[in-house]
Amino acid sequence: MSVLSPAISSAALLSALRSCRLFESLGSVDLQRIAEFAQLRRVARGDSLFREGEPTRGFFVTHSGAINVHRIASDGREKTIHIFRAGESFAEATLPDGTGYPAHASCVEDGHVVFIPRSEFLSLLKTRPDLSLRMLASMSHHLRILVNALDDLTQKDVETRLAIWLLNRCPQPLGAEAVDIKLDVTKTVLAAELRIRNETLSRTIARMRDLGLVVSLGRTIRVIHPLQLIAWLSGAPSSNSLPSAAFRKPPVAGADSSCQ
């Protein structure tokens, strides 16, 4: 992980801050003030941003690429909490008490992150209470991420997670025509996001392909008939009149839970 020179990073740094939910609608003067102490860093796959238990140095905003925030289980396996992509901030909840990072963060796809130091940002918060409210909103968003992750692990089998992931990326309203979904990350990163192993993702795609639901074309997954995929999720016969709200497929016996 390397810090880019100020001359190169100035425009990109402001662009990254503007794209972050935490700083959206902030004026140029406020963004410039944050940019004065923030750093744009280049990260490569495998780079560690922080490790669980390390003292809190600050928080991060993803500008490009993908960052995996995860815990390490007692058996040594990674348990993904969330994959953070462009515009998302993470680790800001550790700023107030500074007791340390509660998880690991590593780069899973080359890109850039903005590092915002703890002491300078806390000093800014003392003069800008509106930013404190933004922090609370951001932490609330992260709490929803954790709740959704728990829901995925306890209530949804692997095939259901992948099907919902695909349907969420299909144009609405859903129709009968095939939809090509281009993966903006590698399948390894997608597997981590779905909280499964890479080989489990490959087997799941193969099963859905054999059922005539999808076709894998390199870094594109084609949903052959979105409404049929919904019907398969709900266990109902295919119908063009099926509603597109919260369908659930009964759990598959013996579904892979090795990364759950």
Whole-structure pTM over 0.75, yes or no? no
Residue 112 has pLDDT above 70, yes or no: yes
Please spell the DSSP secondary structure of the chain, one letter per residue: -EEPPHHHHHHHHHHHHHHSGGGTT--HHHHHHHHTT-EEEEE-TT-EEE-TTPPP-EEEEEEEEEEEEEEE-TTS-EEEEEEE-TT-EESGGGTTT----SSEEEEEEEEEEEEEEHHHHHHHHHH-HHHHHHHHHHHHHHHHHHHHHHHHHHH--HHHHHHHHHHTTS-SS--SS-EEEE-SS-HHHHHHHTTS-HHHHHHHHHHHHHTTSEEEETTEEEES-HHHHHHHHHT----TT---S---PPPPTT---TT-
Which whole number is the average pLDDT over 12-27?
84
Residue 92 has pLDDT above 90, yes or no: no
Question: Has residue 252 been placed in a domain?
Answer: no
- Residue 122 and residue 176 in one domain: no
Q: Which tens digit of pLDDT belongs to each residue from 29-73?
A: 888 999 999 999 999 999 999 999 999 999 999 999 999 999 888
Structural domain count of the chain: 2
- Residue 48 and residue 139 in one domain: yes
Q: Which tens digit of pLDDT belongs to each residue from 122-166?
A: 998 888 777 766 666 656 665 665 556 555 555 568 888 888 889
* CATH code: domain of residue 52: 2.60.120.10
- Residue 146 and residue 83 in one domain: yes
Q: Looking at 111, 135, 155, which one is the last position of a domain?
A: 155
What rounded mean pLDDT belongs to the chain?
A: 80
- Residue 131 and residue 175 in one domain: no
Residue range(s) defining the domain that contains residue 205: 158-234
